[in-house]
Structures are given as structure tokens and as C-alpha cells.
Structure 1
Amino acid sequence: MLKIENKGDSHYFFVVQSAQGNPLFESEPFENQEAVREAITAIKPRIKHPGSFERLTDHEGHFRFALKDPQGKTLGRSKPYGSEAGMENGIRNTQAGILDSSLG
């Protein structure tokens, strides 16, 4: 599930959650809801493209991914995963959440 959230500081984010409601991905802040919708609209056609996701490993050995827009700018990052397989599953669920959304 994808939703737009306002964190109370006049910044908007889009968040992708699992079917159980666990956060999978949170975007970087946007100035308004329209900017969030524009970013989602821009990424939807490319979400299945391999270059849309950057796979990362932090210094503690956790796996994360970053979602990139068509120009290569980072739109946001995932939560940490304990395994590479978990991260890949998170990527698939993030793709599905964005593609299935009615936003954008």
C-alpha cells in the first residue's frame, strides 16, 4: 500500500507498506502533495527497470535499497533488512505498492 503522509513539519512523504502495515520504504521529503504525486507519476513507468533501485549494504551488514527517479536522483530509502533475499522481497513489494496505487 502506498500513501502520502505529512509529518507535521510541512513536508510530505510517500510511504510504501506491506500488507501487514509494516513500512518498506519512505521517500525523501517533498514540499507539497502535488510534488509527491509528480514523483510517483514519473517513476511508475520505470519502476520495473533494474536501474530504478540501488542495492546497498551498510557498515553493520544490513541490506537496504534506494529508489531513483528517471534522472538518477534518490527518491528515498528502505528500512534495513537482515538478508539480501529480504531486501529483494522488499523491492518487489515496493514495486507492487507503487504500481497498484491510484496516486500519481
Structure 2
Amino acid sequence: MIKIDKKKGGLFQFKLKSNNGRTLLKSIPFSSKEKLDNTLNDIKALKGAKAKLFERKTNTDGKFLVELKNSVGEIVGSSGLYSSEAGMENGILNITNSIELGIK
């Protein structure tokens, strides 16, 4: 599920949520709803190409996270931290499912 929030200063942000309401990923702030919508449509077009959508990372504490990228490779969102690589891969699956369910 995708939740869109309007932030202070007229900025927009989307969150990808699991079926149980847990936030899987938060986007960067967008200056307009149109830019946010264009990014979501861009991600929809890429959803079959997981290798292009996701960048896997490890932070300095050894925790894992995922960054979501658009078609030109810009980071448009980040996941929370995962304690294991398997958890991160499961998170990617959940994010992918949220994208497929949330973007029509």
C-alpha cells in the first residue's frame, strides 16, 4: 500500500506500507504532487527489473538497508534497518509487493 503525505512547506512524501501497516520504505520529499506521481509511475515501469530498482547497503553498525532508485539511478527512498541480509531480501520482496498493489 502506498500512503502519500503532504509535509510542511508544501512538500510531498510517499510511504510503502505492508498489509499490517508497517512502513517498509519512505521516500525523499518531493516539491510537488506531480513530481511524486511521476516518480511513482517511473517506479511502476521498472517494477519487473528489481536489479535496477534496489540498491542494497550495509551501515557502519552492520545493519542492512535498501534504497529505491528511479529509472535514472537517483535514490528516491530508503527502507528501515534490517538485522540480517535475509531480512533485507524479504523486505525487498515486501516492498515489491507493495509497489505492485499500490500503483495501478
Task: Give, in whole Å, the separation in 1 of the partners of 2:90 and 2:48.
Answer: 13
Deviation at 1:102, TM superposition (A): 4.1
Letter in 2 for 1:86: G
* Equivalence for 2:81: 80
More helix by share: 2
Q: Secondary structure at the match of 1:9?
A: helix
Task: Give, in whole Å, the separation in 2 of the partners of 1:36 and 1:51.
Answer: 19
User: 1:55-70, aligned counterparts within 5 Å?
Assistant: 55-70=56-71
Unmatched runs of 5 consecutive residues or more in structure 2: none
* Equivalence for 1:18: 18
Deviations 1:56-98 (A, max 9, x none): 0000011000011010100111000111111111111111111
Letter in 2 for 1:8: K
Does the CA-based 8 Å contact 1:4-1:33 persist in structure 2? Answer: no
* Equivalence for 2:46: 46
Task: Give, in whole Å, the separation in 1 of the partners of 2:32 and 2:70.
Answer: 17
Moved over 6 A (4+): none
Does the CA-based 8 Å contact 1:67-1:74 persist in structure 2? Answer: yes
Task: Give, in whole Å, the separation in 2 of the partners of 1:77 and 1:102.
Answer: 18
* Equivalence for 1:9: 9
Is 1:32 aligned with 2:28?
no
Identity of aligned residues (%): 36
Deviation at 1:19, TM superposition (A): 1.2
| RMSD (CA atoms) | 1.3
* Equivalence for 1:90: 91
TM-score by length of 1: 0.91
